[in-house]
Structure 1
Amino acid sequence: MKTIKKIDVKSIALPARKRVAAYARVSMESDRLAHSLSTQISYYNDLIQNNPEWEFAGVYADSFISGTSVERRAEFKRMIKDCEDGKIDIILTKSISRFARNTVDLLNTVRRLKELGIEVQFEKERIRSLSGDGELMLTLLASFAQEESRSISENVKWGARKRFQKGIPHGRVRVFGYQWEGDHLVVIPHEAEIVKRIYQNYLDGKSRFETEREFASEGITTRNGCRWRDHSIKTVLTNITYTGNLLLQKEFTDDPITKKHIKNTGQLPQYFVENTHEPIIDMKTFRLVQNEMARRRELGPFANKSLNTTCFTRKLRCGKCGSSFIRCTRSTNAKYHSALHPINGYYRAWNCGRHHKNTSLCENNEIPEIILKKCCSEVLGLDEFDEQIFSKRIERIDVPYQGLLLFNFIEGGVISKEWHSTARTDCWTDELKAQQKKWLKDYRVKGVGPHSAFTTRIICGCCGDTVKRQAEHKSRKQLVFWRCRNSCGIRGIREEELKEISAGILGLEEFDSEAFMNRIDHITMVRSGLMEFTFKNGHTEQAEYCIKVRQPKWTDERRKAMSERLKQLKEAKKNGCK
């Protein structure tokens, strides 16, 4: 009898399709290059979708953006973000120069993608980034692309300088008060009136800040509808274009990779072209303004009428960073008025300019003005500080570090003077001590003041210090604790729980502040989890409170589960690559 065996059809596992994306870029705006970009996009769309082993993951295209930096290329950064999110396996691009013209950016990006297991294929150079010699070839060819960009930049700059020599500007820069009509600048009447007013205000003695505030109050704005700022007014005051002449090559780009603009202060020749357009300001007025700006620059802060200068202005110099000290005025509580506060409600001190902007920039701290005057009087041999004598004899004061002043005399010689801050001692007068004692007595007896009923009434049994109230913000919720600020090891207690325990000790259903202050003298935190209530009649009672111990985030169970999860991901990735 014949034996028949049934052979089942074996299921053949199809290989996973690669998710493929493409990147395209053009650097200049023109109809020809715009057509080139659209052609690149269409080409990659067809190429990827017609390959049965590939899955279309999109085409990323940056238009009219240079390849020397990735900062302004939004589509390029979006593509890298999708790669990091695991949406792309392969990136196609026309050439290395389309991908990046900066060698450092190119290699950093390719290496980052290599860590993610993503391959970049450069069609023109026939290079695959995951191949053995891929990075070596990329380094060499990327250097050529970068140098090509540098060469193009030099050619462009050469052409611009040739145009400058003929009196032709490079591009059409926007100038407030003018508009371009063809190759000529034409005056805009209402903007020209604002320019004339800016110049007149400055010659009348007004500062740029005064003009800024004046325009803001009258609603006068820039062409874009923005508020006039100090730097914008300065640009108008220093722009020789308003005299009807052009000054070409006022700034230049030193490095085509970084594209950083540098002000031309003599590094390259400049070209002055006369009578190119209608003037708004005559040359005499322009020169008067430049001379006035130079005079005010020489005077420094003394030229600005809005600044409250003193005899110490520009006299104090930081020995660490070289910055000048500036005067700082802070308001204080009137009840703390003392010899340290010569004006009721205000505290004046001199701070290093860099330290005032950011304390991490310089270590030199403030010098109270009253102490500064006292040191000056002692160095000059005066009973009282005299501004005129100080200005005539002292050239400057150097501050090498906090606590030392070096007085440099105009006639020559240096005297060092040490000083120590007595701010706390000077503020804590006998009058304030009496006020504090009275407040504490009234508070302990009557509860006068905005403080909590527990304030000054909870004592740490370990160090004897007063337990303080602390607030924490967790999950959009404010939690209040009472803790010892010293490292005693005694755990704090939440205010809600403290109120519940206090109400139970007093035999009340709810916590009552007045009843607590009338009957309880103080609470002692004996150890973590145990408190002792001392009544005013001498009676004591102990109560335990809950100590919340934080559970470790990584338990053995979580570690084991995560280990299994990582193993599964590795297996899945390995199977997907086969």
Structure 2
Amino acid sequence: MKAAIYCRLSKEDEDKIGESESIQNQKSMLIQYAIEKGFDIYQIYSDEDYSGIDRNRPAFNSMLQAASEHQFDVVLAKTQSRFTRDMELVEKYLHGKFMEWGIRFIAVVDHVDTNDTANKKSRQINGLINEWYLEDLSTNVRSVLDHKRKEGLFIGSFALYGYCKDPEAKGKLVVDPEAAEIVKRIFSMALSGIGAHKIARILNDEKVPSPTAYKQMNGIHYHIAAKNRNVGLWSSPTVYQMLHNQTYAGNLVQGRHKKISYKAEKTMWLPKSQWIVVENTHEPIIDMETFETVQMMLKERTRSGAKGEIHPLAKKIVCGCCGSFMEQTGRQPRADGTQRRYVRCRMHQRAPEVCGNKNCTDMDALENAVLERIRAYAADYFDPEKVTLPEQDDPIRQREQVRRDELKRLKSEADRRRKAMQELYLDKVSGLIDAVQFSEMNQTFLEEVKKAETRIDTLEAELEQQQEETGGAQTQRQRVRELAQVSYLTRELVVLLVHRVIVSPKDPLTGEQKITIEWNF
């Protein structure tokens, strides 16, 4: 008779039992048993670092395929749990398929033998005990991991983009300077009213590596489960998730999803109330004030305009007749080439019988009304001569820092491209690539370096000019006066100050239209 030997060892078994359950020990015992019983050994199948509940064990499935083809007569395992800890598989194979295929199963230590019909109940009891063991183990492991999460220890396999695992302190995160600059830039663009889709497009146009590509470029063996050919590109969901993640503000967020069952790999997302959040566990990349402002803007999010920017008053204008949102309904060209924009009640367009507000309202007039009201409040409550702005709060210096961050990134990128060109030349000299390949790839690198250098020159000129403009305290004071005048309306300003703008129908006699602004303060 031919016998297939099956051995398995998982990490939890190795930690718990040690050498006595090693693969080599199992092999030796089963080979000796086969010799004593006069079995010819067909093949030894071995799975290491696989749980007994796992149905995707390669050697296990290979053995089952050979069994279905009647390549051997007996399966030998040290214990029934080495074969499987899944009660469903016990019933399917030991008491089903193996009998159908004429395969005998023997577990040497457990004295399990499917030829002995008297111990079927024992096999079933063993199967239940083995499955209960896994269930208890899963519960214990989850408790330990949750305890670590609540202690503020990072337990993920890979650090969040913008951070690295601290090599000197297990469970701690440290800032990755290069990636952190991109994170800061993403939040800065969001603050200026740029939508997630356009942010992703800007990063892709500039060939900034996506989080997945960045990990792979830095030697981290990171793979995503989904079959996505565009892992090297930024996407709006990626940007949107980053903008929502308060880990960037120094608070560690974990436990956002969990496995449905210890038997399945599928996970389910948990409600936000069940997430484990521990504050001030690591250095923030984004200050909390900026993070909270971005959250307010995301909460008021709407579709971006044609240029990828969200209109300052988007989803803030409501009808005074029915309370529905008003939306842009058309444009009218002006003599100077610009376009006059209008908004109209959404409900009236869909159901005129419900709302009688048929008037179109000039969007520019609404913007000016809100802007003038903000200016009036600023004039009443804000004295620029009494304001002392620390350097980190100075908008000019913030813009200067953004430029410096971009300049640093571009110089680093250009240096990497030059290094790649040198390595490319060595590949050509070594015969690894031919002259045509070298020429094409070298030309691509040259164009990328040239583009980066052009932008570097522009940034350096802007920084030099800005440095001249911000040379003294008087210049800074003048900038404060300009800010107090609120020269234009921004999405950030509207989200922070304006609850909604109520537009009432025009008076049929006077033609006047009442505009009411409700504030957040």
What is the TM-score of this pair, normalised by structure 2?
0.51
**Residue in 2 that maps onto 1:197:** 185
**Residue in 2 that maps onto 1:244:** 250
**Residue in 1 that maps onto 2:206:** 218
Q: Are residues 220 and 169 of structure 1, via their aligned partners in 2, closer, same or farther at CA, if it must alter by over 3 Å?
A: closer
**Residue in 2 that maps onto 1:154:** 139
**Are 2:277 and 1:289 aligned?**
no
- Please tell me the residue identity of whatever aligns with 2:87: T
Unaligned runs of 5+ in 2: 218-231, 309-342, 357-521
**Residue in 1 that maps onto 2:239:** 233
Q: Are residues 172 and 96 of structure 1, via their aligned partners in 2, closer, same or farther at CA, if it must alter by over 3 Å?
A: same
**Are 2:7 and 1:23 aligned?**
yes
For residues 406-439 of structure 1, give each alpha carbon's deviation from its aligned partner in whole angstroms, at most 9, with x where no partner exists.
xx97469xxxxxxxxxxxxxxxxxxxxxxxxxxx
Across the aligned residues of Structure 1 and Structure 2, the Cα RMSD in angstroms comes to: 3.3
Q: Are residues 232 and 388 of structure 1, via their aligned partners in 2, closer, same or farther at CA, if it must alter by over 3 Å?
A: closer
**Residue in 1 that maps onto 2:348:** 392
Q: Are residues 204 and 113 of structure 1, via their aligned partners in 2, closer, same or farther at CA, if it must alter by over 3 Å?
A: farther
**Residue in 2 that maps onto 1:381:** none
Higher relative contact order (CA 8 A, sep 6+): 2
**Residue in 2 that maps onto 1:163:** 148
8 Å contact from structure 1 (residues 45, 59) kept in 2:
no
3-state SS in 2 of match to 1:220 = coil
**Residue in 2 that maps onto 1:40:** 25
**Residue in 1 that maps onto 2:60:** 76
1:464-475 alignment to 2 at 5 Å? none
Q: Are residues 281 and 209 of structure 1, via their aligned partners in 2, closer, same or farther at CA, if it must alter by over 3 Å?
A: same
Give the superposition deviation at 1:90: 1.0
8 Å contact from structure 2 (residues 7, 23) kept in 1:
no
Q: Distance in 1 between matches of 2:22 and 2:196?
A: 47
Give the superposition deviation at 1:124: 3.1
Give the superposition deviation at 1:389: 8.5
Q: Distance in 2 between matches of 1:94 and 1:304?
A: 67
Q: Distance in 1 between matches of 2:307 and 2:97?
A: 54
Q: Distance in 2 between matches of 1:180 and 1:389?
A: 52
- Please tell me the residue identity of whatever aligns with 1:282: D
Give the superposition deviation at 1:150: 1.0
**Residue in 1 that maps onto 2:513:** none
1:263-412 alignment to 2 at 5 Å? 263-265=269-271, 268=274, 270-296=275-301, 299=302, 302-303=303-304, 305=306, 391-392=347-348, 394=350, 410=354
Q: Are residues 411 and 211 of structure 1, via their aligned partners in 2, closer, same or farther at CA, if it must alter by over 3 Å?
A: closer
Q: Are residues 230 and 126 of structure 1, via their aligned partners in 2, closer, same or farther at CA, if it must alter by over 3 Å?
A: farther
1:112-131 alignment to 2 at 5 Å? 112-131=97-116
3-state SS in 1 of match to 2:43 = strand
The structure with the larger Rg is 1
8 Å contact from structure 1 (residues 252, 264) kept in 2:
yes
Q: Are residues 273 and 58 of structure 1, via their aligned partners in 2, closer, same or farther at CA, if it must alter by over 3 Å?
A: same
Give the superposition deviation at 1:29: 8.7
8 Å contact from structure 2 (residues 3, 34) kept in 1:
no
**Which is richer in strand?**
1
What is the TM-score of this pair, normalised by structure 1?
0.46
Overall identity of the aligned pairs, in %: 22
Q: Are residues 139 and 290 of structure 1, via their aligned partners in 2, closer, same or farther at CA, if it must alter by over 3 Å?
A: farther
8 Å contact from structure 2 (residues 163, 176) kept in 1:
yes
- Please tell me the residue identity of whatever aligns with 1:186: V
**Residue in 1 that maps onto 2:92:** 108
Q: Are residues 248 and 20 of structure 1, via their aligned partners in 2, closer, same or farther at CA, if it must alter by over 3 Å?
A: closer
Q: Distance in 2 between matches of 1:304 and 1:93?
A: 66
Give the superposition deviation at 1:60: 1.6
For residues 314-353 of structure 1, give each alpha carbon's deviation from its aligned partner in whole angstroms, at most 9, with x where no partner exists.
xxxxxxxxxxxxxxxxxxxxxxxxxxxxxxxxxxxxxxxx
Q: Distance in 2 between matches of 1:108 and 1:65?
A: 20
8 Å contact from structure 2 (residues 255, 276) kept in 1:
yes
**Which is richer in helix?**
2
Partner residue of 2:47 out of 62, 67, 91: 62
Q: Distance in 2 between matches of 1:120 and 1:304?
A: 68
